[in-house]
Structure 1
């Protein structure tokens, strides 16, 4: 679905957005990860769950959780899998709630449709959430939501690398045996390659508007299926049992991120 959605993004518009989009994304991602992690630990969440939830809220939801998780060394794989599921559940629920909230409060924010697209792409967790919110207010809003959201997704690889180095360094300090461990493979969101390719094709090849429209509609169908699948993965019993700390942290950090993106959209876009 994300690959097909590339036909919707015009790279000439992306170039026009400039470096400011990447800079705003980098500040938002960094601040959200640090704040979510710090609050989660303050509220009593275990370290591994806190960093997974923080990356999910800061970057791109479930994809970020599953991308960062292999970089974390642990002796309890079963507990790690449980933390993955819990982190995915938290970010998916938060992203869905904030999608509805942002669409609802848009008339109160005094934002133009393109500015709202920046807010949606910069504050919502899943790509599907950003598409849903941005697409609710027209093409300009959707284009900006995609540009802003994908600027955050591009930060997945460097963040995973930093997290992996941080955890390996901590383990080396704790035990000399960790010197023999090989570094984990850096996760690469390969779907971004397909998205960029379809963006290039859609921008520079003379496809008919009807054909491009059909491909984009197919993308919406696939992304809708993906959101439904994410909903199936949510286990509220686990959230109520162990997820209170990270859920509370995610509420606060997501609200702060939304406020930050509203301010940034008004100043720079």
Structure 2
């Protein structure tokens, strides 16, 4: 791991300026028509990758970029907890929570299994599975710190993060359009359509875009269903971290240490509790969620600046194919469940 204790002030402020530009521009562009399906986080990542064309400022702030991609990521995920209203989730009913647990467990396991069968390396398979099964880019970045790799593999792991984010961004957009297109053929009620979109799509933005096509009831249901999956991020990160450490130890690929505990995920849960039970007001909660996406956007931009994105097209095909097949199975499953149980 890098020693951020010796981070130079100049490095930090250059990195802060570069990533802030990407995050703000990504937030603006992500709100435009036709770009909402892509989302601000993925746009920030792409802009960060574009900054690699300007080698001098990026190289001058290498340590600062590493700090932001590491620390700001955790801060953003903690603040994202304010988006979760636990009372709303509880009022949605046991069926929604159970469905979220089944979808996350089943999709993560299925995507990982298929990816490994396609020859995808373990770390990339885990990240692609987490992004597909839980909540897209935020899940990829939330799970990645649990995948402890050797120092000489950290650059490759950052490439895995970019590839996993790219996979869920592309597939999420494709399946959003598919679900909107097949809506008239499914004959689902607004509630059923909302459950289907929230349980099957990758990013919150995807669920919002598809759910809104079914009206306000469908949109509300899609958001609640999707946020139920987001709630699974913290326990999933803990379970995946422990499983990865045990599996690498048994295979001789790593040494056994302490069970990795994602303390920032504890902050995520605490933020959701505070946002639910303290009278913070709608304006403050909205501001905290905006701050979460700003910090996450900066972390994504920093990630984009620090990887060799040419390898995406060389090593990402298997992960994309696995996530695509798993997404098809997930869509069919959620159509059946929403039709017969909601």
Please tell me the TM-score bracket, short chain as reference. Answer: 0.7 to 0.9
Structure 2 portions without partners, runs of 5+? 1-78
Secondary structure at 2:255's aligned position in 1?
helix
Task: Report the Cα distance in structure 1 between the residues aligned to 2:272 and 2:98, rounded to whole angstroms.
Answer: 21
2:67 equivalent to 1:67: no
Task: Report the Cα distance in structure 2 between the residues aligned to 1:196 and 1:236, rounded to whole angstroms.
Answer: 38
Task: Report the Cα distance in structure 2 between the residues aligned to 1:166 and 1:157, rounded to whole angstroms.
Answer: 14
- Contact kept in structure 2, 1:92 and 1:230, CA below 8 Å: no
Task: Report the Cα distance in structure 1 between the residues aligned to 2:275 and 2:234, rounded to whole angstroms.
Answer: 21
Q: Cα distance, 1:230 vs. partner? A: 7.6
32, 35, 46: which one pairs with 2:121?
A: 46
Q: What residue in structure 1 maps to residue 23 of structure 2?
A: none
2:216 equivalent to 1:143: no
TM-score using structure 2 length: 0.64
Provide closer, same or farther for how the CA distance between residues 71 and 151 of structure 1 changes in structure 2, counting only shifts above 3 A.
same
174, 179, 183: which one pairs with 1:102?
A: 179
2:92 equivalent to 1:17: yes
Deviates most, 134-143 or 98-107: 134-143
Deviates most, 193-202 or 258-267: 193-202
323, 326, 335: which one pairs with 1:253?
A: 326
Task: Report the Cα distance in structure 2 between the residues aligned to 1:87 and 1:20, rounded to whole angstroms.
Answer: 29
160, 174, 180: which one pairs with 1:83?
A: 160
Task: Report the Cα distance in structure 2 between the residues aligned to 1:169 and 1:4, rounded to whole angstroms.
Answer: 33
Provide closer, same or farther for how the CA distance between residues 5 and 48 of structure 1 changes in structure 2, counting only shifts above 3 A.
closer
Q: Deviations over 1:207-242 (max 9, x none)?
A: 8xxxx79x98xx89x98xx89x98996x98544321
Q: Cα distance, 1:261 vs. partner? A: 0.8
Q: What residue in structure 2 maps to residue 33 of structure 1?
A: 108
TM-score using structure 1 length: 0.80
Q: Cα distance, 1:266 vs. partner? A: 0.8
What aligned pairs does 1:233-248 form with structure 2 within 5 A after superposition? 237-248=310-321
Q: Cα distance, 1:37 vs. partner? A: 0.8
Structure 1 portions without partners, runs of 5+? none
Provide closer, same or farther for how the CA distance between residues 197 and 129 of structure 1 changes in structure 2, counting only shifts above 3 A.
farther
How many pairs were matched up? 257
- Contact kept in structure 2, 1:5 and 1:195, CA below 8 Å: yes
